[in-house]
Amino acid sequence: MTTVLVIGAAGKTGRAVTRALTSRGVSVRAAVRSPERSERAYAAGARSISVVDLETGQGLVEAVTDVDGVYHLAPNVHPDEVAIAERVARAAARADLARFVFHSVLHPHDASMPHHLRKAEAEEVVRTYLPGATVLRPAAYHQNLVGAAVAGRLAVPYSLDAPFTNVDLDDVAEAAATVLTRPGHAGLTYDVAGPEVLSVREQAHVATEVLGHPVEAVRMELSEWVAGAGASLTPQARDDLLAMFGAYDRSGLVGDPTTLRRLLGREPGTWAQALVG
């Protein structure tokens, strides 16, 4: 595997995957939605840039030309997730690429979360065009809450006692690099979950001990979230995330860490380790 196209390369996941691939000597072509986002991809180690419009498919044929594999990550809670997956998978199939990895989500068939169901449909579309594609289904990232913990306040719009097996972003990226560069992963689906079951309340306790200052866990009212972080979202994205918060209230988001241990060949990173970098 010499060159991989990373779609969504300017985002935090794409940058992490780029770093993991380049550390193995792989050349990364970064697919970004605008030239202005190129610097973020270059800073992560990308060798070249392709500007791609995932909503129309413009630039995809050029982006997949002369690469050996693709890591496909769609924009978060995108309403056109399934059609985007079809455009990307069709272009990759026509280019006859050696490897294709689709970034899905843990428990994609949970009917209470519309954006998870779109991931499930996208998985099926990818496999229609590329039966040998590998699917990664990551849990939520530790890094989503590290900044808030450092600031001393974990405020979330769902139950403080719901269980989660959050995963380290760099572990997800390492797993992605593994399945892209080593044989034996064609056609397989992997849940990617962290090694601990922790609630937000428990995460606050751990953070207090690790960081050496008080970290409080606070349940935010949904109306506060809608007026704050949710205010800049489209109505569809806001509704998707509100449905997700309801699902978290009922059952959290828990997966089995066994697969990630096997992919990494070591114990996955813990919440405490993520806090200290």
Q: How many other C-beta atoms are found inside a 10 Å radius of the C-beta of residue 196?
A: 20
**Burial (0-12, 13-18, 19+ Cβ within 10 Å), 51:** middle
Going from N- to C-terminal start, the domains of the chain cover 3-139+169-193+254-265
Tokens coding 131: 């039966």
- The C-alpha atoms of residue 82 and residue 197 are separated, in whole angstroms, by 31
Please list the residues that pair with 27 across neighbouring strands.
3
Domain covering 3-139+169-193+254-265: architecture: 3-Layer(aba) Sandwich (3.40)
Which element (helix H / strand E) includes 200?
helix 200-211
Residues 6+ positions from 21 with CB-CB distance below 8 Å: 4, 6, 28, 45, 176, 177, 180, 181
Which pLDDT score is estimated for 277? Answer: 84
The mean of the pLDDT values for the chain is 97
Per the CB < 8 A criterion, the answer to whether 11 and 72 are in contact is no
- Kindly report, residue by residue over 106-155, the tens digit of the pLDDT: 999 999 999 999 999 999 999 999 999 999 999 999 999 999 999 999 99
Say how many C-beta atoms besides its own lie within 10 A of residue 37's C-beta.
17
- The pLDDT value recorded for residue 1 is 62
pLDDT in tens, 8-33: 999 999 999 999 999 999 999 999 99
Cα(13)–Cα(39) distance, rounded to whole angstroms?
Answer: 15
| pLDDT (0 to 100) of residue 29 | 98
DSSP class of 57: -
- Residue pLDDT, tens place only, 185-239: 999 999 999 999 999 999 999 999 999 999 999 999 999 999 999 999 999 999 9
